[in-house]
Chains A and B, each alone.
Chain A
Amino acid sequence: MMALSRWKVIVVIASIAFGLLFALPNVLPQSARDALPGFMPKKTLNLGLDLQGGSYLLLEVDTSALRKEKAVNLLEDVRKVLRDEKITFSDLAQTREGVSVRITDGGRVADAYNLLTKQLPRPLKNGTGSDLNVNRAGDQRLTLNFTEQGLNEQSASAVDQSVEIIRRRVDELGTKEPAITKQGANRIVVQAPGESDPEKLKDVIGQTAKLTFQMVDTSVSLQDAAAGRLPPGTEILPSTDNYSPAYVVRRRAEVTGEMLTDARQENDPQSGAPVVSFRLNSQGARRFGEVTTKNIEKPFAIVLDGKVISAPRINSPITGGSGQITGNFTVESANNLAILLRAGALPAPLNVEEQRTVGAELGADAVQAGTISVAVGFISILVFMVLIYGFLFGGISVIALLVNGLLIIAAMSATQATLTLPGIAGLILTLAVAVDANVLIYERMRDEFRTGRPLLSSMEAGFSKAMTTIIDANLTTLIAAAIMFFFGAGPVRGFAWTLSIGVFTSVLTAVLVTQLLLAIWYRTARPKTLPIA
């Protein structure tokens, strides 16, 4: 055991070299890091949001809203298909799984069934089955039910799409290095480090930004409509303009946000008020031209997420494919709306389930407190070890501990594991427990030496017998860390990761480095007695 096997020397030297190389960027200023040659690692410790400040948002895609919308669309589709073929029907209604309808003419039930089966179901992306089942339910009734796979596929694609749109929106805000990731089936985590304004971030992310242009129905007064005399195919939408608390508008959207190619915040040349100017694609421009030509002198409503933001009167046909949205805007809100419109609407509403913000200065305070406490903890361990075991054996474990600290920093930098505030505590505890391996070995050596064994054999027995215990003891910590990793969220995971890295580096250094140093001491000093016995 005390013979220096070559592989042990190589492992120790290689890991120290690794440690130095990967820990180095942490002590260099940014300019020096940039000047490093390409093959050198440049990554520093990846500080968590609680240490560098920033915002964390956990969003959930509201898939039930998505289902509802799908059912409404299906209802309209069924109505259109049957009307187009002049099949009379009644009882067209939403059900829990989709839509059901009764065909009035018993002789045309089969026709209707064939038509609906041919036109409405869409094949799934994975190629097995379709998103809709059409069934004959007796009594001339047809039911159209969404399949579970179809709904799941749609939810999944809505989540993916949302991630993409959020990324575009956040990028437009100029947030530095945002991390946007999917979590579970329908959740999205947004992490934005630094001094970003969390409220603005949330405003920009949380809005669906579904824009539609709908005609205002002027045939009925708002009071009559509110009293229940709502013309078919219209709805009452609340408004945010200064003229009317709500408008009666046609349900049909003439132009939608998908037809936009660009949106900018500008100032109105006449009034100087902030407006959002937009440009439509060719399809949208044609539709907009048609509608404005047909409806001169009538108002149309610009609807954002179910609210009318303005309802201007059409003065002349707008055929150029561009226009302006006026409304109760400040420069900032107009700018935000432009960002949202450029990035596109979210396929479903997002709910903010969890939000955490740490001010950058508090993050800096935490880093400072963390650094001081790590230093104090580390030094007290070092002093304690030297006091307990003397300069030689204590010193050896101090060197092992220093190598350990170096390796942890290097491994954390190399893997870009997030160092959180609890992670700092994990680091300290790891160092304290790393000492345990040394203590176990030394105590065992004393025990063996005391029973009258010769020095060399006691030292060897110390290592071999302590080894089982060291591995058992460290495996238990690893189990605890693994559980934290699988069950824990954000900061707890960072803690678990720090702890796990620490377990590996501790065993490596406390056993190998200590062994190497003791072997060197034994060879050079040729001692006859154990200094700690």
Chain B
Amino acid sequence: MKFWPLIKIIPMKTNFRFVAFSKYAAGISVALSIAALAAVLIPFEGPCGGLNCGIDFRGGTILEFTTQPAPATATPGQGAANTAPATPGKQIDLGVVRETLSGRGLGEVGVQAYGDGSSAMVRFETPKGKDANAVKSEVRRTLESKMPGIRFTNDATVGAKVSGELFLSGILALLVAIGLMLVYIWFRFELQFGLGAVIGLFHDVFLTFGMIALFDMEFSLTTIAAILTIIGYSMNDTVVVFDRLRENLRKYKRMPLREVIDLSVNETLSRTIITGLTAVLALTGLAVFGGEALFGFSVIMIVGIILGTYSSIYVAAPVILLWGVKRGVEDEPEPIKFGAASRP
């Protein structure tokens, strides 16, 4: 059994010169970050700019409806297996839906079909000064009269006040998360490490946002949750590299910093790849089988994990080179002991 377990064919010692490539990587990363920022901010109008904000942040109403007949018994949680419709529903003519909703002052109306085309979703804004519920009831009635036999399944309405608050607290959550990570790394390592980590995080967050803007994916509360998770994962990855870096800096006191960085990244490379692959593998299952609702969420996380892995190798570690680290034999900071012994 020469090829199994697979760990044996992953070379134990790699000697990639990561730092040497970091100049080019930095150029690409900076360019991509700027492009992503532009995609997110342009057109420059509040609150969402180039992002496709869901009603969580923009306010408004979502209605989902289907032409499929209601299942005879829909017991939540249990009757899942027999919810498949006996007869397939009719195709919904999205043109009719759009026409029905146009010219009512409903702002930017979004119409989208999903499933086999017998279900659809409409999104609209509440005209200024009108009651959201009254508007929604009216839209429901109009749709029902144009397309007899449709059934409304899901709906959601978010008022302007709440959507503004959700948007602010969402952005604030991202900033606080990044800020706390800086403090944490500063406390556990050194300020330079913290800065490297935070620049890496901004890189990940910007590019993820850029992708969301580019593919016109919906930006909602769950997107914020996905990005926060990416921040957690990317930090996790960065910390592993930094931990090894700190250890090697002590071990090889005379080795130039760039070589220590290369060595540390190489030493942790197999772990980085295995963990990243595991996460991506598991999330791919989610994206494929998790249905409409989880697809966007999983795709954002998969991209984020790939970015996080890349940034801990090519962004966070090389940034440390920019400032250098204190490596004096005398004034080497004592590591803080945490839980189990941090040294053998």
Task: Report A's interface with B, CB cutoff 8 A.
Answer: 47, 50-53, 58, 60, 193-195, 198-199, 202, 206, 351-370, 372-374, 376-378, 380-381, 384-390, 393-394, 421-422, 424-426, 428-429, 431-433, 435-436, 439-440, 442-443, 446-447, 450, 460-461, 464-465, 467-469, 471-477, 479-481, 483-484, 486-489, 491-492, 495-496, 499, 531-533
Closest to A441 in B: B271
- B340 CB contact (under 8 Å) in A363, A381, A464: A464
**Shortest Cβ distance from A188 into chain B, in angstroms?**
13
28 A-B residue contacts at CB 8 Å?
Answer: A352-B132, A355-B155, A359-B152, A362-B153, A364-B74, A367-B80, A369-B290, A372-B289, A376-B288, A384-B281, A388-B5, A425-B226, A428-B286, A429-B229, A432-B281, A432-B283, A439-B274, A447-B267, A460-B344, A464-B340, A465-B344, A467-B339, A472-B338, A481-B232, A483-B177, A483-B180, A489-B221, A499-B229
Closest to A206 in B: B133
Residue numbers in A under 8 Å from B81 (CB-CB): 368
- B225 CB contact (under 8 Å) in A53, A202, A376, A488: A488
A489→B221 CA distance, assembly (Å): 8
Residue numbers in B under 8 Å from A388 (CB-CB): 5-7, 274
A195→B233 CA distance, assembly (Å): 38
A51→B188 CA distance, assembly (Å): 40
- Max chain A Cβ within 10 angstroms of own Cβ: one of B335, B339, B344: B344
The answer to whether A435 and B278 have CB atoms under 8 Å apart is yes
The answer to whether A381 and B177 have CB atoms under 8 Å apart is no
- A484 CB contact (under 8 Å) in B161, B225, B293, B339: B225
Residue numbers in A under 8 Å from B80 (CB-CB): 364-365, 367-368
- Near A by CB (< 8 A), chain B positions 118-167 give 132-133, 137, 152-159, 161-162, 166
**Shortest Cβ distance from A481 into chain B, in angstroms?**
7
**Shortest Cβ distance from A506 into chain B, in angstroms?**
11
A58→B343 CA distance, assembly (Å): 52
A353→B297 CA distance, assembly (Å): 25
B294 within 8 A of A: yes
A388→B6 CA distance, assembly (Å): 4
The answer to whether B173 and A353 have CB atoms under 8 Å apart is no
Residue numbers in B under 8 Å from A381 (CB-CB): 278, 281-282
A450→B278 CA distance, assembly (Å): 25
The answer to whether A432 and B282 have CB atoms under 8 Å apart is yes
Interface residues on chain B, number (Cβ under 8 Å): 90
B102 within 8 A of A: no
Residue numbers in A under 8 Å from B75 (CB-CB): 360, 364
B38 within 8 A of A: no
**Shortest Cβ distance from B206 into chain A, in angstroms?**
17
**Shortest Cβ distance from B298 into chain A, in angstroms?**
6
A461→B80 CA distance, assembly (Å): 49
Residue numbers in B under 8 Å from A368 (CB-CB): 80-81, 83
The answer to whether A439 and B275 have CB atoms under 8 Å apart is yes
The answer to whether B283 and A394 have CB atoms under 8 Å apart is no
A467→B267 CA distance, assembly (Å): 17
A464→B337 CA distance, assembly (Å): 12
Given contacts A440-B271, A487-B169, contact A394 B288 (CB under 8 A): no
The answer to whether A476 and B282 have CB atoms under 8 Å apart is no
A262→B341 CA distance, assembly (Å): 71
**Shortest Cβ distance from B328 into chain A, in angstroms?**
22
**Shortest Cβ distance from B116 into chain A, in angstroms?**
14
The answer to whether B155 and A198 have CB atoms under 8 Å apart is yes
- Max chain B Cβ within 10 angstroms of own Cβ: one of A198, A206, A369, A460: A369
**Shortest Cβ distance from B34 into chain A, in angstroms?**
26
- Max chain A Cβ within 10 angstroms of own Cβ: one of B159, B231, B286, B338: B286
Given contacts A433-B236, A443-B270, contact A370 B294 (CB under 8 A): yes
Given contacts A380-B282, A389-B7, contact A354 B162 (CB under 8 A): yes
**Shortest Cβ distance from B58 into chain A, in angstroms?**
13
Given contacts A354-B159, A425-B301, A428-B282, contact A480 B294 (CB under 8 A): no
The answer to whether B290 and A425 have CB atoms under 8 Å apart is yes
Given contacts A361-B153, A377-B286, A472-B239, contact A492 B222 (CB under 8 A): yes
B207 within 8 A of A: no
Residue numbers in B under 8 Å from A488 (CB-CB): 169, 173, 221, 224-225
Closest to A496 in B: B225
What are the 10 A-B residue pairs with the smallest beta carbon separation, nearest first?
A: A390-B5, A480-B232, A487-B173, A376-B285, A369-B291, A377-B282, A476-B235, A377-B285, A432-B279, A359-B153
A378→B236 CA distance, assembly (Å): 21
Closest to B286 in A: A373
The answer to whether B239 and A461 have CB atoms under 8 Å apart is no
A106→B270 CA distance, assembly (Å): 93
Closest to B338 in A: A471
A365→B301 CA distance, assembly (Å): 22
The answer to whether A355 and B278 have CB atoms under 8 Å apart is no
The answer to whether A468 and B221 have CB atoms under 8 Å apart is no
A479→B289 CA distance, assembly (Å): 29
- A373 CB contact (under 8 Å) in B83, B169, B231, B289: B289
The answer to whether A370 and B290 have CB atoms under 8 Å apart is yes
A168→B40 CA distance, assembly (Å): 47
Residue numbers in A under 8 Å from B274 (CB-CB): 388, 439
A351→B126 CA distance, assembly (Å): 15
The answer to whether B5 and A425 have CB atoms under 8 Å apart is no
A416→B175 CA distance, assembly (Å): 30
A43→B80 CA distance, assembly (Å): 21
A473→B197 CA distance, assembly (Å): 13
**Shortest Cβ distance from A165 into chain B, in angstroms?**
20
Closest to A380 in B: B281
B71 within 8 A of A: yes
The answer to whether A495 and B278 have CB atoms under 8 Å apart is no
A351→B134 CA distance, assembly (Å): 13
**Shortest Cβ distance from B267 into chain A, in angstroms?**
7
Q: Beyond the given A384-B278, A472-B243, could you list 18 further A-B residue pairs with CB under 8 A, ordered by the A residue number?
A: A52-B77, A199-B137, A354-B156, A354-B159, A355-B133, A360-B74, A360-B76, A365-B80, A387-B6, A388-B6, A428-B282, A432-B278, A469-B243, A472-B338, A483-B177, A484-B228, A495-B229, A533-B12
The answer to whether B83 and A364 have CB atoms under 8 Å apart is yes
- Near A by CB (< 8 A), chain B positions 226-274 give 226, 228-229, 231-233, 235-236, 239-240, 243-244, 247, 267-268, 270-271, 274
